[in-house]
Amino acid sequence: MSTLFEALDQWAGAQPDALALITETDGTRTYAELVHNAAAIGGALHGELDVAPGATVTLLAANRPQWVETYLGVGAAGLRCVSGNPEWTDSEISFILEHSESSAVICDSELAERVVALKRDLSGLRHVIAIADAGEPVAAGSLSYAALIESAPDDPRKTLPTEEFEFAEHIMYTSGTTTGRPKAVINQVTDQPGIDYEEMFGITSKDRGIVVTPFFHGNGMGGLMVALIYGASVVFPRRFSGTRFWKLVDLYRPTFLFTLSPIVNILLGRPESLHEKRHNLRVMIALGASRTAPIIEERFGAPVIDWYGMTEAGLGTYTRLDEVRKPGSAGRRFPDSTMTILREDGTVAAPGEEGEVVFGRGTISFDGYLKDDEATAAVIDAEWFHTGDLGYFDEEGYFFFVDRKKDIVRRGGENISSIEIEGVMRLHPHVADAAILGKPDAVLGERVVAFVVPADEHPEPDIPAIQSYVGEHLAKFKVPEEILLVDELPRTSTGKIIKAKLRPQIPTEGAST
């Protein structure tokens, strides 16, 4: 096992002129250029900016080459890297910077002025480094990212720390979709993530990926690093656009897509185009796409790999290209996966028996939640990391995800999956989007409540017809008893519904439609 910088440095030696990064608006980087710039920014932090190994640097930027350079350079300098959402508000940024005790922030130029203003109240924050487009000035009080690169010596690797240090750490703040409060997930920065993907779809240096999810999210990070660890190239826009996606695919000819099911669902909802019919994609890797995989494959003509995993634990299962897919299944375990299903009493569940998904503690890189011993103790015991997800393995070892524990609706002794109902509701022509929650009930425990975004063609949807439709596909006790119409559902930048923001909107009395 080696650091990511070491892995890419080897590729820079083997194929210095091979393209590593290809962007729509920010040019390209060869492997030699990528490693040079990463070492330059890491060396600048370590040297002239005097940010010592073990300190924290926060990265707040859209998907661009400088994001990748910074992430690699921070790790090469033995620093902790917080990858943050550039769309955070000032209060969110201030909380993250204070909580992580960041010494430096590297951010898009449009954020720099705001971060400089926040710096006055953050005693530990010493440097704000702005990533600007060519000819664009940087905010007063900030340093120029480009100037730091330009001032680097011919071989900036010599400016990196020479003392031994543990693997650098990467901190990602969870979206807080269930509690409303983000937790800081600590992982080691190594080349380990790429090992499983060779098993998954046989990636080589001849491949080219396309990634449209944000790099600060585990999915975008995964797609990016998987390509680079194997010496492949990766195409990415600064931000995802459904109207531009297939044009990018047609222009840059990637061989694999790495994304999330909400992104693919957006593409499915768009009109068919000539571009989507003449691509080179040999595989589409989409987390959470097991239920819609047949539809995706029929329309776009590329096999779909679904998988199950999470930021803290990495990958657990995936659907193999050479095996029959089971509808709704996220496939079978990776050969070295310790993913298991436990009953409430802590014993291993039998095939077909629903329980909590856990991972063997000794096989994951998750080191706990930063400054949150209580949250860490709630998910880690002597043997297992507890995901808080419910699922089961069938007799043949295929995994089926049921729901988050906190999103299960418990009605009259029945555990009802919110995801199952949401999937059915979205198939109704009057429904553009849906979210299922439980409403406390003195008799049944909880009742099923739905938040629905009406389809554009049906601004006043037929609610009884929607309920009847759900009843035709699912058991009667799963039919939402209340349907609340909303203009949109609160979602994270990667499409996850923030149910913590919906719960306060559930009426405490009576039924609403």
Q: What is the pLDDT of residue 4?
A: 85
C-alpha angle with apex 380: 313 to 386, nearest 5 degrees? 55
How many other C-beta atoms lie within 10 A of the C-beta of residue 2?
Answer: 14
**What span, in angstroms and rounded, lies between the C-alpha atoms of 182 and 136?**
33
Of 170, 53, 181, 162, give the one whose Cα is nearest residue 100: 170
Burial pattern 84-120, b for ≥16 Cβ within 10 A else e, equals bbbebeeeebbebbebbbbbbbbbbbebbbbbbebbe
Question: Helix, strand, or coil here: 278?
Answer: coil
* Secondary structure of 350-401 in HEC code, one letter for each residue: CCCCCEEEEEEHHHCCCCCECCCHHHHHHHECCCEEEEEEEEEECCCCCEEE
Q: What is the pLDDT of residue 494?
A: 66
**What span, in angstroms and rounded, lies between the C-alpha atoms of 279 and 251?**
9
Rounded to 10°, the helix 90-100/109-119 angle is 60
Indicate the length of the chain as a whole number.
Answer: 513
C-alpha angle with apex 197: 195 to 200, nearest 5 degrees? 130
The distance of Cα 84 from the centroid of its chain, to the nearest Å, equals 12
The distance of Cα 236 from the centroid of its chain, to the nearest Å, equals 15
Q: Are 497 and 490 in contact (CB under 8 A)?
A: yes
Q: What is the pLDDT of residue 513?
A: 45
Domains and CATH numbers, the chain: 26-188 (3.40.50.12780), 331-406 (2.30.38.10), 408-505 (3.30.300.30)
Alpha helices of 15-89 — where are they, by DSSP H? 31-46, 65-76
For residue 169, which amino acid is it? E
Contacts for 293-297: CB closer than 8 Å, 24+ residues apart:
293/319, 293/325, 294/327, 295/268, 296/264, 296/268
**What span, in angstroms and rounded, lies between the C-alpha atoms of 191 and 41?**
20
For residue 342, which amino acid is it? L
Strands 102-108, 340-342: parallel, antiparallel or unpaired by DSSP?
unpaired
**What span, in angstroms and rounded, lies between the C-alpha atoms of 468 and 460?**
16
Q: Are 329 and 313 in contact (CB under 8 A)?
A: no
Q: Alpha-carbon torsion 291, 292, 298, 302, what sign?
A: negative
Q: What is the pLDDT of residue 179?
A: 47
> Could you report how far apart the first and last alpha carbons of the chain are, in Å?
56
Q: Alpha-carbon torsion 448, 453, 459, 465, what sign?
A: negative
Of 228, 230, 239, 235, give the one whose Cα is nearest residue 253: 235
**What span, in angstroms and rounded, lies between the C-alpha atoms of 237 and 234?**
10
Beta strands, E only, 167-326:
169-173, 184-188, 208-211, 233-236, 256-260, 283-287, 304-305, 307-310, 314-318
Q: What is the pLDDT of residue 177?
A: 45
User: What is the residue whose two structure tokens read 């009057």?
Assistant: 430
For the record, the structure tokens of 106 come out as 């590297």
Q: What is the pLDDT of residue 442?
A: 81
413 φ/ψ sector (left φ>0, alpha ψ -120 to 50, else beta):
left
For the record, the structure tokens of 343 come out as 């009953």
Which residues 6+ apart lie within 8 Å of 450 measured at CB? 421, 425, 434, 435, 436, 437, 480, 482, 483, 484
For the chain (513 residues), the mean pLDDT of every run of 10, in chain order, is 83 98 95 98 96 94 97 93 91 92 96 96 95 90 96 94 74 63 74 64 93 90 91 96 94 95 86 90 90 90 91 87 87 90 95 95 81 89 91 96 84 82 92 93 88 93 95 90 94 78 84 47
